[in-house]
Amino acid sequence: MKTAIIGAGNMGGAIARGLALGTVVNTKDIWVSNPSQEKLDRLKEEFPAINITNSNKEAADEAGYIFLAVKPQLVGTVLQELKLRKNQVLVSVAAGIMFNQLYGYVSHPNMPMFRIVPNTAIRILQSMTLIAKSNVTGEQCKTLTDMLNGMGQTMHIDENHINAATSLCSCGIAYLMKYVQACVQAGIESGICPADGKRLMAQTLQGAACLLEKLEVDPAKEIEAVCTPGGCTILGINALDHAGFPSAVINALKASMSHQLYAF
């Protein structure tokens, strides 16, 4: 099954790498297009069987699934150029472009479409990817879900909830990295070298993730379990609360949700 990725930027390149590392799509059936050559050459060097081209039309021609990973302001121009057929499946990665906008750029009013929101961990097969769908069959939905499950985990979601979920799992990577950065800086002040600080935080985050996923712990109860009376953890938790940490996180998420509503 020929699969096309239009755009080899951060997200398009990550999807191409994820598909190549996965088992659902044969690497020789992956086509990636991009206007500049450098990013394509890097992909080809990593995965020699991948097909690369500067022509979007060449990549999309006869492809069953077309991942559209271009900047939102280019979506209309690129889709009108591609002239996709009604039996092809469009998978849009463009932030903020709704289904009704996408249908305005294609010739077929009932064309099967998905909107997906991966995060950057897709390049190491650890993404949390959101999927919204329109006019797709059960088989098409299963095929795409299998592709993306090979690159992490997926969650099917209504389009009207996609902005909120994007803030949690896509923007959320940056927010977690900001927390890690601050922790490493605090460690440096106390004499811990940056490499050791990053290692400590990486395993701590992984452990917290496993507690949430495998044991389905409640965050509030886990915090309570760690905060022994008179201990050091409760002092830190109270300091975070007094500094407005919970409000800062909530405001950051709400800000990113609101921007998605009017940015494009």
The confidence score (pLDDT) of residue 137 equals 97
The confidence score (pLDDT) of residue 260 equals 67
The confidence score (pLDDT) of residue 263 equals 42
> Contact, 8 vs 39, CB < 8 A?
yes
Tell me which residues of the chain have a pLDDT lower than 70: 260-264
> DSSP 3-state helix, strand, coil percentages of the chain (rounded to 5)?
55, 15, 30
Q: For residue 25, what is the DSSP state?
A: S
Sign of CA dihedral 182, 187, 193, 198: negative
Q: For residue 127, list its beta bridge partners.
A: 152
The confidence score (pLDDT) of residue 262 equals 43
Contacts of 67 (CB under 8 A, 6+ apart): 3, 4, 5, 6, 12, 15, 91, 93
The confidence score (pLDDT) of residue 196 equals 98
The confidence score (pLDDT) of residue 95 equals 86
DSSP E strand boundaries for the chain: 3-6, 30-33, 51-53, 65-68, 89-92, 113-117, 127-134, 152-156
Retrieve residue 39's tokens: 């990013």
Helix orientation angle between 245-262 and 232-242, rounded to the nearest 10 degrees? 50
Question: Rounded to whole angstroms, how far apart are CA atoms 60 and 172?
Answer: 31
